[in-house]
């Protein structure tokens, strides 16, 4: 509560009530709870220690804006394209947009998980991830040996970018076709940018 000073007139007498009011004002002013925050405070590089819970209107202390991710295992998006591939023609499996709540300043990278049907042929599948038409990651899968495979992007992406994942079958049409049944987009929050450590881990977009 703000301190209301006494207005003194000429020839006023100091009374116990007025002295009590002065002492109450000093006591109030010595406590942070009695301080009116009426201007910005430059802390001049000094630390604030032993702080309890901090609260702001947004709840993100020190945060700039936007998530920044690295390859991880939290599923952000799942697609079930069920696309059949049986030739060397490149096919688009999925296309999606990085959400607007991601950073427009710092790159994020993703982990892509691919699930396919089984096959007895010794061929391979090559995957390419593009950001706005530019390659940012590649991966491969052995048709005979693997039903699920993950690979990471390294080229980065930001809020609003269009991500396209393509597949090419290392066959000539004579091999048994395989079906890409599921594509997962996974990541984890980047932890070495302090302003982003306050973001809670969440699941699906």
Structural domain boundaries, residue 33: 1-40
What pLDDT score does 183 carry?
98
pLDDT band at 82 (very low <50, low <70, confident <90, very high): very high
Question: Is residue 51 in some structural domain?
Answer: no
92 plus 129 within the same structural domain? yes
Residue with tokens 């390859």: 71
Neighbour tally for 110: CB within 10 Å: 27
Calculate Rg over the CA atoms of the chain: 30
- Model confidence pTM above 0.75: no
**pLDDT for 58 beyond 80:** no
Q: What is the pLDDT of residues 10-36, one digit of tens each?
A: 777 878 777 777 777 777 666 666 667
82 plus 136 within the same structural domain? yes
Question: Is residue 45 in some structural domain?
Answer: no
Instruction: Give the total number of structural domains in the chain.
Output: 2
- Look up the CATH number of the domain holding residue 111: 2.60.120.260
Question: Is residue 79 in some structural domain?
Answer: yes
28 plus 88 within the same structural domain? no
152 plus 191 within the same structural domain? yes
Task: Supply angle C-alpha 24, 26, 28, rounded to 5.
Answer: 70
185 plus 138 within the same structural domain? yes
- Of 2-6, 78-82, 166-170, the range with the lowest mean pLDDT is 2-6
**pLDDT for 64 beyond 70:** no
85 plus 143 within the same structural domain? yes
Number of continuous H segments (helices) and E segments (strands) in the chain:
1, 9
Q: Which of 132, 139, 89, 135 is nearest to 116 (CA)?
A: 139
Q: What average pLDDT does range 77-100 have in this prediction?
A: 93
95 plus 192 within the same structural domain? yes
180 plus 98 within the same structural domain? yes
- In terms of pLDDT, which residue wins out, 3 or 134? 134
What pLDDT score does 179 carry?
93
pLDDT band at 195 (very low <50, low <70, confident <90, very high): low
**pLDDT for 177 beyond 80:** yes
Long-range contacts of 2-6 (CB under 8 A, 24+ apart): 2/34, 2/36, 3/28, 3/29, 3/34
Q: What is the pLDDT of residues 103-143, one digit of tens each?
A: 998 999 999 999 999 887 778 899 999 999 999 999 999 88
């Amino acid at each position: 509560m703000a301190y209301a000073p006494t207005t003194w007139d000429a020839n006023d007498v100091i009374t116990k009530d007025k002295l009590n009011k002065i002492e109450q004002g000093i006591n109030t002013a010595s406590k942070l709870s009695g301080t009116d925050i009426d201007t910005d405070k430059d802390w001049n590089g000094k630390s604030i220690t032993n702080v309890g819970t901090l609260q702001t209107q947004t709840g993100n202390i020190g945060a700039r804006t936007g998530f920044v991710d690295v390859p991880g295992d939290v599923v952000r998006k799942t697609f079930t394209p069920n696309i059949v591939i049986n030739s060397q023609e490149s096919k688009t499996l999925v296309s999606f947009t990085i959400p607007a709540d991601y950073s427009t300043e710092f790159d994020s990278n993703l982990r892509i998980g691919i699930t396919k049907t089984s096959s007895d042929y010794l061929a391979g599948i090559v995957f390419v991830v593009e950001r706005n038409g530019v390659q940012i990651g590649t991966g491969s899968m052995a048709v005979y040996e693997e039903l699920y495979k993950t690979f990471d992007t390294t080229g980065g992406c930001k809020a609003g970018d269009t991500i396209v994942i393509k597949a090419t079958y290392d066959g000539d049409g004579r091999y048994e076709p395989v079906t890409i049944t599921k594509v997962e987009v996974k990541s984890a929050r980047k932890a070495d940018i302090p302003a982003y450590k306050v973001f809670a881990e969440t699941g699906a977009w």
